[in-house]
Structure 1
């Protein structure tokens, strides 16, 4: 059995060529787990040869629009295809609070479309099968099947409430997905000896002078500085650090090298990948 990790989106709210909204797909055997569903997630999944009917479950890290704007598309797309695949509703796992409220109400704007489709093709309405869990400062089990488990832990993305990181354990190894967060002890503890850590990356140290006095100064305060992230990855003994949600998005290999240099200056000497959409890594 081989576990794969695919970046279904490495972008941020500001559109960037070639970068869909945030998302990570973890596959192990017949299990396919999607983490977040940013802009164009459905297209990226299709390009990754993973049909919506193949998704086992979807997990949301927090309610920011760039991480959930593709969620109705996933649910509606799966429903529209259901008369072919007969897969039924998708299990969606979200932290209790505002993210759960969004997930439970996200299909309301599509009421007219749903009614029209049910007149012609669909036998039943779409169902957002949402399960909620409470954010905790220590890892808590939120999902388990066939030797694969998913744990969640609260992270620091204040002022956004109820933001979490996830740890996926499979027979092949461990994958941690940070969601959006400052560099924090909770993610460091979650990532101890992880085979892969997919972590958001913001070049705060390099850009702090340029953003001083602008709105971006506040945004940078609740994202993960690349230099500090290098220290976290070193202390946690992470085997492979994958950077995503890239701020600012690198335009070329020289731009990617700047992210790597930042992380190295923080002390991490392990393997680093600067994320590109559809980058896929194998574990085991």
Structure 2
């Protein structure tokens, strides 16, 4: 009987399956990671930092070419995607994307490495990302643990960004900032690339991953109007991809945000003919370059 429970599948979702004995098998359990390095072409430098050892939270920081030793840059706080269960801030896809954005937008990027399901069930990813954001904010007065942030960040121009699951987490962060504040930090804008929200076939998967939830109306899954109205930023940029099943979730978020009473500016960009997070896999394609250029122009804009 035990052998039968070991082999029989009880539940099957997009990214993993659950056996009757409770064992969880990820369909993609490995991804390549690369070390930080200094790019001799763009001048972008990168390093890894430990934010917390228990629970383990870390980040990779990217700093653009420092021509003036006293220069201060805007900061992009970036959260990777991967269905809350895969990928890494240290994977080559996210390293190269963050490095490109850092070089082209002239911003410091902090790319967060948060706990993944099933080793750490939701809401760990949300709490890890909030802890990382508070760690960043600890540098506001120039006496935090990381010299790059102490010496070279202007905290009156901070951005959040993320793709897929990272877009969902970015929303929860900017709502939390709007609801309770983040002293010394002004969040200018948020970038959501093909974000995950409720209203798709993955709703049940998210509920399974998150044993502490409020059902299908959980505000992390389906943000209510009162939460959207409190977003603690001035601008939001949302990307959706034409062939992405999450397109409907991104468009719904856009429409609900406009109706919520939030007083900021929101823009929706549709990547025609493209699939979910295509820009990470095919960064040299014209459409991927256009997406990156749009992100860069959003970061560089003055309103």
TM-score strictly above 0.5: no
Q: TM-score, normalised by structure 2?
A: 0.37
Higher relative contact order (CA 8 A, sep 6+): 1
Write 1 or 2 for the structure with the bigger share of strand: 1
Q: TM-score, normalised by structure 1?
A: 0.39
